[in-house]
Amino acid sequence: MLLVRKLKIHIGPLLLAVILVVGLATWQLWASRSSGTLVSASSLPGVSGSSLPGLVAGSIAASIILFELLLWPRKRLRRFKLFPTKFWLSAHLWLGLATGPLAFIHSGYRFGGTFSTTLMCLLLFVLASGIYGWVMQIIIPKWMLGNLPFETIGSQIDDVSIQSALDARRMLTVALGPKPVGLTKLANLDEISAKMRGSSMVRDQDGQVSQIVVGAIQRRGDHRSLLKMESAEMEFNPLDGSEVWRQYASVIEPFLLRGIPLSKDKTNARSNRLSPLRTPRKANEWFGLLRESCSLNAGTILESLEQLCEQRHQFNAQRRAQAWLHGWIATHAGVSVMLGVLLITHIILALKYV
């Protein structure tokens, strides 16, 4: 939700929030002057939450908070088309920000006892987390658009990485021949790819699987194909084939399958914390050394493998960015519910002593 792109949507809620805050602050100031509760010319109004403007400000703030909490059930009932989502989110943002000033107006611009102070601190935390989420939703998608040309559906990163490893194996088999005996054993990815959660199988008329479709990679800009095979008809040095297969099995494929569950225990035993490919800079240096140990004919194969590793680096960056983008929601929602419970308790206690 890039809120800055459609400013017209925000004009109404923003004006309403400003009118509520400015209007109630002015009313309270006028009431405090009329009642003579100003201690000195430089002091803040001394009107408490039990005054008429204080009660109105508190009631409006409480109503807005309860309205904010309706966003979650509204998402569950979206099939009823209660209200366009973009307008609801706009009101959620600006009216939510208004609750902070309204709560301070209600309190007479001062913290009270332990309970009211806790309630105010929770409100400030909710507002801070909401502002953080808003900023993240503006910055991160724009950053991903410009810096992550290899982007796919977040939930299918593992599926696409498995498919990339299969493609790399086929490329090496066609260009260099089968994997030499005695090298690091490769995982059985064919069965795993058939069970990928984001995949769908396409069968022919005889019921045989003819295609496996997974989430596509969105390649932005002028990017070459990952598996270019102009050199397929070239004669490769057998030593090149042995070295490339050895490095692929022991270093490259474990990095491509980083953290993907490949067995029943749902763990990948191959750790990449010390992998020479763990950062783009180290990967570039490592592939440079690998090129020096091979002949020029292996250049195209190594270029394709390096591009696959670059794709995996961008997938990792995409996951981190999406964690920043969505990780705040659980905290924001949990503290908001806690705030709502304490708010209801505050209202009940206030009514008890009226």
pLDDT at 329: 87
Q: Rounded mean pLDDT of 101-108?
A: 88
Q: What is the mean pLDDT of the chain?
A: 78
pLDDT at 206: 54
Kindly list the domain boundaries of the chain, sorted by start residue.
Answer: 7-37+44-149+327-352, 152-187+215-323
pLDDT at 30: 86
Q: How confident is the model at residue 188 (pLDDT cuts 50, 70, 90)?
A: confident
Q: Report the distance separating Cα 31 and Cα 5, nearest Å.
A: 40
Please say if the pLDDT value at position 87 is more than 70. Answer: yes
Please say if the pLDDT value at position 181 is more than 90. Answer: no
Per-residue burial over 65-94, b if 16 or more Cβ lie within 10 Å, else e, is: bebbbebeebeeeeeeeeeeeeebbbbbbb
pLDDT at 310: 93
Query: Do you know the residue count of the chain?
Result: 354
Please say if the pLDDT value at position 284 is more than 80. Answer: yes
How many percent of the chain have pLDDT more than 70? 73
**How close are the terminal C-alpha atoms of the chain, in Å?**
43
pLDDT at 210: 46
pLDDT at 194: 63
Please say if the pLDDT value at position 209 is more than 80. Answer: no
pLDDT digits (tens, 9 = 90+) for 107-126: 877 777 888 889 999 999 99
Q: How confident is the model at residue 245 (pLDDT cuts 50, 70, 90)?
A: very high
2 residue type, one letter: L
* Bridge partners, 202 (sequence order): 211
Please say if the pLDDT value at position 18 is more than 90. Answer: yes
Q: What is the DSSP letter of 266?
A: S
Please say if the pLDDT value at position 308 is more than 50. Answer: yes
Out of 76-80, 306-310, 316-320, pick the least confident: 76-80
Q: Rounded mean pLDDT of 19-38?
A: 81
Q: Give the tokens for residue 66.
A: 């309860």
**CA of 277: how far to CAs of 282, 283, 312, 350, in Å?**
6, 4, 10, 61
Please say if the pLDDT value at position 218 is more than 90. Answer: no
How many percent of the chain have pLDDT more than 90? 28
Q: Rounded mean pLDDT of 260-264?
A: 64
Q: Rounded mean pLDDT of 7-28?
A: 90
Q: How confident is the model at residue 227 (pLDDT cuts 50, 70, 90)?
A: very low
Q: Report the distance separating Cα 209 and Cα 182, nearest Å.
A: 32
pLDDT at 96: 92
* Bridge partners, 200 (sequence order): 213
pLDDT digits (tens, 9 = 90+) for 325-346: 888 888 898 999 999 999 999 8
